[in-house]
Amino acid sequence: MQGILLPITTIWWREIIRFYRQRSRLFSAIAQPLVFWILIGSGLSASFQPSGAVDGPSYIEYFYPGIVVLVLLFTSIFATISVVNDRREGFLQGVLVAPVPRWQIVFAQALGGTTLALLQGLLLLLFTPMIGIRFGVTSFLLSLGVMALLAFGLTNLGLLIAWRMDSTQGFHAIMNLLLIPIWLLSGAFFPSTGVPGWLAWTMKFNPLTYGLAAFRHSLYLDTTAKAFGEGTPWTLSLLITGLFCILTYVGATLTASAQRN
């Protein structure tokens, strides 16, 4: 067992130390979503009511879970971009020729990304009282769990892309054409109720839609989530998010195993 745990822990821990020593990464992953949230949230609050939210909840509150997910997405993107370089010039080169199976390497990397994303997500949870969300212990723990699942899935999605790439140049295109749209169409920005049919269907097939739904459910644990237009049941959203984690992890491992360098 130690034979498996030791390489995983060491790769994971290296990610944490690196992050701690490059604190500008913390700033870049949190600041941008925070600015988005405050500017867009406040701006739209004045003129829009989320469809389905009949009374009360403001847009800034609606937008909040989406921003947490955006922070998770950004952190996992940053964590995976570093993999591309690290594999060509850096510590990972040595890991690749060490007797450590690829599934362990990918798992450790995903765990590293998840931890970092979770830490930053936690920082954002500090803002909940400001918008009137109050949670109990159960809700807090559930939210953490869902955030961890989401972060794990998103990091693996990033790894799946990163392990195929030779340089970071192409990553920006993928980020803008794939990752950001996935986020935009997850119900983070607007609910699926009332949108044109084709868009509603796209959102239905977006795995992140279910992740976001699970997160809203865990934040409120009552019917408020429904008030935000979340039609997806709690269990189904959790199930699909779990499935998303497994599939992206398996995908990332297969990609990493196919690439020998």
Partner 1 sequence: MVVETDVLHSINTESRKPKVSESRIEVENLSYAYQQRQALDNISFDVSCGEIFGLLGPNGSGKTTLFKILSTLMPATTGTVRILGHDLATEVKAIRNLLGVVFQHPGLDTKLTVVENLKHHGHLYRLTGKTLRYRTAELLERFGVSDRAKERVEILSGGLQRRVEIAKALLHSPRVLLLDEPTSGLDVTARRQLNDYLRTTAQAENILVLLTTHLLDDAEACNRIGILDVGQLVALGQPDELKNQVGGDVILIEGVDNETLGTTIAERFGVSTVFADNRLRVECKHGHEFVRDVVAAFPDEIQSVRLGKPTLEDVFVKLTGNPFVQ
Residues contributing to the site for partner 1 (CB under 8 A)? 2-3, 6-7, 9-11, 13-14, 17-18, 21-22, 88-91, 93-102, 257-258, 260-261
Nearest approach, Cβ of residue 72 and partner 1 (Å): 23
Q: Toward partner 1, which CB reaches closer, 12 or 37?
A: 12
Nearest approach, Cβ of residue 157 and partner 1 (Å): 23
Residue type, 67: I
Q: Toward partner 1, which CB reaches closer, 102 or 216?
A: 102
Q: Toward partner 1, which CB reaches closer, 24 or 47?
A: 24
Task: Check: CB of residue 217 under 8 Å from CB of residue 138.
Answer: no
Nearest approach, Cβ of residue 41 and partner 1 (Å): 35
Give dist(CA 104, CA 168) in Å, integer. 23
Q: What angle do CA 62, 242, 247 make, to 5 degrees?
A: 120
Q: Toward partner 1, which CB reaches closer, 108 or 214?
A: 108
Nearest approach, Cβ of residue 99 and partner 1 (Å): 4
Six token digits for residue 254:
């297969």
Nearest approach, Cβ of residue 82 and partner 1 (Å): 11
Counting Cβ atoms within 10 Å, is residue 261 exposed (0-12), middle (13-18) or buried (19+)? exposed
SS (H, E, C) 141-189: HHHHHHHHHHHHHHHHHHHHHHCCCCCCHHHHHHHHHHHHHHHHHHHHC
Q: Toward partner 1, which CB reaches closer, 91 or 201?
A: 91
